[in-house]
Homo-oligomer: A and B are copies of this chain.
Amino acid sequence: MITPAEPRDGPDILAISAGVEVFNEEEVQTVDELWQDSLNRGAQASGYYFLVDREGEHVLGYACYGPRALTEGTYDLYWIAVDKRQHGKGVGKALIRAVEKEVRQMGGRLIVVETSGLDKYTPTRSFYESTGYTLEARLVDFYRDGDDLVIYTKHL
């Protein structure tokens, strides 16, 4: 069942992030920072909304999104990650659909996703493409030399 994350979900969110091979240490730390900010100030004040897909006591995956400053109705999907043991079961797809529903309810009209152009992110990019996101931009060598920024969007 997909619901807003609760304080008790923190350890699972961080464990899932650390277990996903494409996240590096700095990225895991960033997820932690956004999570702490969301907990301390609340989703609305921090701008970081977390959804989890929970089965009993177990968190299968999570998504983090929020409004982009200086836009009207544009939301960033910052992170989406699924427990490695739960891959291939549609958890990611259910999470991204739930994000879209929430964004729509908040008056959002556009979702933007930034990811890497590296080979190891091919499954990530395929995931976005298969869920209706359009490759709209590529910034060469953005993350580091040889590692492009790839931007996907979906108009709701």
Q: Which residues of A contact B (CB under 8 A)?
A: 26-27, 30, 69-74, 109-110, 112, 136-145, 151, 153, 155
B143 touches A71 (CB 8 A): yes
Q: Is the CB of A142 within 8 A of B26?
A: no
Measured CB to CB, the closest approach of chain B to A99, in angstroms, equals 18
15 intermolecular pairs with C-beta atoms under 8 Å apart: A27-B70, A30-B69, A70-B143, A71-B142, A72-B144, A73-B144, A74-B142, A110-B141, A112-B142, A136-B138, A136-B139, A136-B140, A137-B137, A137-B138, A141-B155
Q: Which residues of B contact A138 (CB under 8 A)?
A: 136-137
- Contact call B137/A136, Cβ cutoff below 8 A: yes
